[in-house]
Amino acid sequence: MVSLRGLTDHTIKSYSTYISAYLSFLEKAGIPPEDASWDIMRDFVVSIQKERSLSDRTVNGIISQLRFFTLYILHKPWDPYQLPMRRFDSYLPFVPTQEEVRTFISAFTDLKQKAMLVLMYSAGLRVGEVCSLRYDDVSRSQMRIHVIHGKNRSDRYAILSPTALDILTQYWFACGRPTGYLFPKQNGQDRPIDTFFISRHIAAMEEKLGWPHRFTCHSLRHAFGTHLYENGVDLPTIKELLGHKSMSSTLVYIHTAANGTRSVTSPLDAMGGLL
């Protein structure tokens, strides 16, 4: 049923993880899924949040999965008042400065790792989009990258930086000249590399540099959007380059940019101060 809805592999994996946990919870309690009450579902949500130290945002994802399971698998009605979505605080993402990005990426000597990081930062690609890139997706003549079926299930073109192309070319010649997936799994050329490959190396490099653990793959994507805005690129263009579905996702870069809200003059100062 999940596959019939046309959900992505990442979503299917996520649904399987928490629905499996829910079914195990019911099995231990000796309760068939169709007989589970709202109290039982609430107990499960509270239990798994405490057990795994999950954020309220993640809990909302679990509630969505329970809703899917109830409606499409059990064919029972769903009452949003019985298991309401959590409210959660919103925080600005960590965005490294341009100098921090330069220092961090330059510290990598492995060409595969460096090429993946450079693509995330220079084109604003998600880690999953980098891992799924194929040789034919990179157009050297048009200097652009074809991102196929991104997060919003839509294609887009990302910019191909000449510097990124140079590093990618070095990697390509040094690492077997892959013509399928640009970053294949080590034990299978017909399968893309796992996303945790580069995440693991990011954490290791932070440790090596003695930096606090703040960098993630998405930090580089945020840095791309923020640094473009700092360099004068308009928000609609940044939205299209990042493949955002809504402008509200792009507006965050006004707040994270060094020349964003901090460059605005207060009306109190504009009037020349107080008498």
- What is the rounded average pLDDT of the residues 179-192? 86
Q: Is residue 79 part of a domain?
A: no
Lookup: tokens for 37: 């009450």
Within a domain: residue 187? Answer: yes
HSE-up of residue 187 (Cα within 13 Å, Cβ side): 1
Q: Is the pLDDT of residue 210 over 70?
A: yes
Question: Are 163 and 31 in a shared domain?
Answer: no
Indicate the residue type of 121: Y
pLDDT of residue 17: 81
Catalytic center residues: 126, 151, 218, 221, 244, 253
Query: What is the total count of domains within the chain?
Result: 2
Closest CA to 147 of 165, 164, 134, 161: 134
218's torsion region: left (phi>0), alpha (psi -120 to 50) or beta? alpha
239 assigned to some structural domain = yes
**C-alpha–C-alpha distance, residues 113 and 115, integer Å:** 6
Q: What is the mean predicted confidence (pLDDT) over 144-170?
A: 89
Task: For residues 47 and 183, state if they share a domain.
Answer: no
124 and 169 in a common domain: yes
Average pLDDT, the chain: 89
So what's the pLDDT on residue 12? 60
In terms of Cα–Cα distance, which of 145, 159, 130, 120 is closest to 241? 159
- The yes-or-no verdict on residue 224 having pLDDT over 60 is yes
Do both 224 and 113 map to the same domain?
yes
The rounded distance, in Å, linking the Cα atoms of 205 and 216 is 11
147, 127 Cβ separation under 8 angstroms: no
CA distance 175 to 113: 11
Q: Which two tokens stand for residue 60?
A: 């909302």
Higher pLDDT, 270 or 221: 221
User: With 60 as the cut, is the pLDDT of residue 9 above it?
Assistant: no
What is the predicted pLDDT for the residue at 272?
76
Domain range spanning residue 228? 98-256
What's the predicted TM-score (pTM) here?
Answer: 0.73
The C-alpha atoms of residue 136 and residue 167 are separated, in whole angstroms, by: 17
Are residues 238 and 152 part of one domain?
yes
Domain endpoint, select from 38, 58, 73: 73
What's residue 205's pLDDT?
97
Residues 116 and 205 in one domain: yes
Per-residue pLDDT, averaged over 85-94, amounts to: 81
Residue 211's contacts (CB-CB under 8 Å, 6 or more residues apart) are 104
